[in-house]
């Protein structure tokens, strides 16, 4: 927080720290616009990172070691310390150049995103301090892109931590018992993994589709059984399921049918299910925020690929409120290494990102009332 407070002093902006949960602070900076009555721009980033396995890294993962070719190694270089710093440096550049902003700009640095964000942004959006921001558009993280294009995300898949319990008749393992948990378990697994196969094939058959356009299902947990000669009364199976916003109701209906077809005594729980079907309009001429973002990217020569984010970000909480949100990390010609060993970002890509964000922020913060 001391670093962020120092950055706020350098920018000459208001700074406050709020606790989303005890021990989980969020820092908020405010740059007042010329017309505070207009909806504001939010530049969001998260401060937490995933764990590291130092023995698999070329350098100390928290040293920000830079090689001669400009590659900077460190946990968070892609996810997402880079973007948070790019916001700050872009604003410093714009202030130094004497630019004015019609709309108020907020910067938020939140905790807990890598754990789902429920005790970070999930709490922050419920607080009065957030409601008073009057956000019109929020920017947040995206992905690195290995091609010349840069990816912008206008929605994200929903995450289910699905646990299905199958109850059945217990007994001796030497018998052909009816109505066993194992038979129901097999039906459930076959149904879900069969659908997984069809979605994987759908992705392979259509080169225009991205991972965020299909549903992924992966078996991740198996529970049950006492010993080899005892047929168990209960077996459980867990799946990690990621669903595009447009497919949520369809999959819910299919899941209910699969469970019914497998037999009685089957229950399921979604765990931390958070359904966000909302997406941001990215059609030209239909959303002034998108038009401004797109125009800034065109001015910078940035070629955009529009996608549904295949994983989860803090923007699920923001879109749920009906607020426009875009995920964008200006990283092209870069392998996607978030959460991986030896995560790095080249300094030229990083510095170019500051230039791009300078144009984007200037355009968005001066969107005319509509």
Q: Is 82 helix (H, G, I), strand (E, B) or coil?
A: helix
Question: Which residues, 6+ apart, have CB-to-CB distance to 303 below 8 Å?
Answer: 148, 149, 150
> C-alpha angle with apex 278: 25 to 252, nearest 5 degrees?
105
Q: Tokens 């714009």 identify what position?
A: 94
48 catalytic, yes or no? yes
Burial 96-115 (b: 16+ CB within 10 A, else e): eeeeebebbbbbbbbbbbbe
Q: Tokens 């010329």 identify what position?
A: 34
List 48, 247, 291, 340, catalytic entry: 48
DSSP state of 1: -
List 112, 113, 278, 363, catalytic entry: 113
Q: Is 348 helix (H, G, I), strand (E, B) or coil?
A: helix
- Return d(Cα 14, Cα 245) in angstroms, integer: 36
Strand partners, 230: 172
Question: What is the torsional sign of CA 348, 353, 356, 361?
Answer: negative
113 catalytic, yes or no? yes
Measured N-to-C along each axis, helices 248-262 and 181-205 cross at an angle, to the nearest 10 degrees, of 150
DSSP state of 54: G
Q: Tokens 């049918």 identify what position?
A: 257
- What are the residue numbers of the active site? 48, 113
């Amino acid at each position: 927080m001391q670093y962020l407070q120092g950055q706020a002093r350098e920018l000459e902006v208001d700074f406050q720290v709020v606790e989303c949960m005890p021990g989980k602070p969020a820092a908020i900076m405010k740059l007042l616009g010329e017309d505070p009555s207009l909806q504001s721009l939010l530049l969001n980033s998260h401060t937490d990172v995933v764990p590291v396995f130092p023995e698999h890294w070329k350098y100390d993962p928290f040293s920000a070691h830079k090689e001669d070719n400009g590659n900077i190694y460190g946990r968070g270089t892609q996810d997402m310390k880079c973007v948070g710093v790019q916001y700050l440096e872009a604003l410093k550049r714009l202030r130094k150049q004497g630019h004015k902003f019609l709309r108020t700009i907020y910067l938020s640095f939140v905790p807990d995103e890598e754990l789902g964000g429920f005790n970070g942004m999930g709490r922050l959006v419920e607080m009065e301090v957030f409601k008073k921001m009057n956000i019109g558009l929020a920017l947040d993280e995206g992905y690195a892109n290995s091609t010349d294009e840069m990816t912008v995300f206008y929605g994200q898949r929903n995450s289910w931590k699905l646990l299905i319990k199958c109850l059945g008749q217990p007994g001796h393992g030497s018998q052909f018992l009816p109505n066993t948990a194992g038979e129901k378990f097999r039906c459930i697994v076959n149904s879900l993994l069969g659908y997984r196969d069809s979605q994987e094939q759908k992705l392979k058959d259509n080169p225009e589709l991205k991972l965020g356009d299909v549903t992924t299902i992966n078996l991740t947990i198996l529970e049950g059984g006492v010993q080899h000669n005892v047929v168990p009364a209960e077996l459980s199976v867990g799946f990690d399921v990621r669903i595009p916003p447009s497919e949520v109701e369809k999959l819910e209906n299919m899941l209910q049918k699969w469970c019914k077809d497998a037999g009685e005594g089957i229950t399921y729980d979604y765990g931390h299910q958070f359904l966000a079907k909302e997406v941001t309009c990215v059609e030209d001429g239909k959303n002034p925020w998108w038009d401004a973002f797109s125009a800034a990217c065109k001015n910078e020569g940035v070629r955009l690929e529009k996608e549904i984010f295949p994983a989860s970000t803090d923007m699920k909480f923001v879109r749920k409120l009906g607020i426009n949100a875009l995920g964008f990390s200006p990283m092209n010609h870069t392998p996607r290494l978030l959460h991986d060993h030896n995560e790095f970002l080249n300094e030229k890509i990083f510095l170019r990102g500051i230039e791009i964000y300078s144009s984007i922020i200037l355009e968005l913060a001066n969107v005319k009332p509509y």
